[in-house]
């Protein structure tokens, strides 16, 4: 059974972009094929809630092989998109100063419906623990306001942030 909604996705204004791909790049080091966050549309730093989306494109690296003639956006990349949303939150709110937030773990991942090229995957995260040593967010994904995945994402600080600026 799906968890209680963090935030009703139908209440989000997806046209009210607070961080576009350039702003995301300033916070997150992901580039090229590993950029899986298109925009951030909501952030509440008091409740530790963030929402964004990924526009799933037919020209992405996985589309021809997962699966031929029936492309499905891989669940592991849906979780990566959620992790990138968490990373954006942590980096823009100085959660672990001087550190990049890396994926430390995934728990309770469930996939409910297929996500296909042309879909807009809306991701909503809520911080359960937001700390400089470990950050845990519940994440939920939606397409057309229908739940498609959920997971819990753990972020941990990793050094080397200075080497990424450059």
Q: Which of 30, 36, 48, 66 is catalytic?
A: 66
pLDDT value at residue 126: 98
Using CA atoms in the order 64, 67, 69, 73, what is the torsion angle rounded to 10 degrees? Answer: -80
Tokens 């799933």 belong to 56
pLDDT (tens digit, 9 = 90+) per residue, 26-73?
A: 999 999 999 999 999 999 999 999 999 999 999 999 999 999 999 999
On the CB side of 45, CA atoms within 13 Å amount to 8
Residue 33 among the catalytic residues: no
- Over 50: is that where the pLDDT of 15 sits? yes
Give the pLDDT score at 62. Answer: 95
Q: What is the pLDDT of residue 165?
A: 54
Q: What is the mean pLDDT of residues 133-162?
A: 92
- Domains of the chain (ranges; CATH) run 9-164 (3.10.129.10)
Mean pLDDT of 8-17: 98
> What was the pLDDT predicted at 100?
83
Q: What is the pTM of this model?
A: 0.94
Residue with tokens 């996985």: 62
Is it the case that residue 84 has pLDDT exceeding 50?
yes
pLDDT at res. 162? 60
CA–CA gap between residue 147 and residue 161 (Å, rounded)? 34
For 87-121, how does the pLDDT look when each residue is reduced to its tens digit (9 = 90+)?
999 999 999 888 888 899 999 999 999 999 999 99
Tell me: the pLDDT tens digits for 147-160? 999 999 999 988 76
DSSP string, the chain: -PPPPSS-GGG--TT--SB-HHHHHHH----GGG----EEEEEETTTTEEEEEEE--TTSTTTTTSSTTS----HHHHHHHHHHHHHHHHHHTTSSTT-EEEEEEEEEEEE-S---TT-EEEEEEEEEEE-SS-EEEEEEEEETTEEEEEEEEEEEEES-HHHH--
């Amino acid at each position: 059974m799906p968890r209680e909604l963090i935030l009703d996705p139908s209440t989000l204004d997806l046209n009210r972009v607070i961080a576009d791909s350039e702003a995301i790049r300033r916070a997150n080091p992901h580039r090229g094929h590993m950029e899986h966050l298109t925009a951030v549309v909501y952030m509440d730093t008091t409740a530790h809630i963030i929402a964004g989306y990924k526009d799933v494109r037919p020209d992405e690296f996985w589309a021809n092989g997962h699966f031929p003639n029936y492309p499905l956006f891989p669940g592991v990349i849906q979780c990566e998109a959620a992790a990138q949303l968490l990373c954006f939150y942590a980096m823009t709110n100085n959660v672990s100063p001087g550190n990049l937030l890396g994926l430390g773990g995934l728990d309770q991942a469930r996939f409910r419906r297929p996500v296909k090229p042309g879909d807009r995957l809306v991701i909503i995260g809520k911080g359960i623990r937001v700390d400089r040593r470990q950050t845990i967010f519940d994440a939920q994904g939606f397409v057309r306001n229908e739940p498609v995945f959920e997971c819990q994402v753990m972020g941990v600080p990793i050094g080397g942030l200075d080497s990424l600026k450059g």
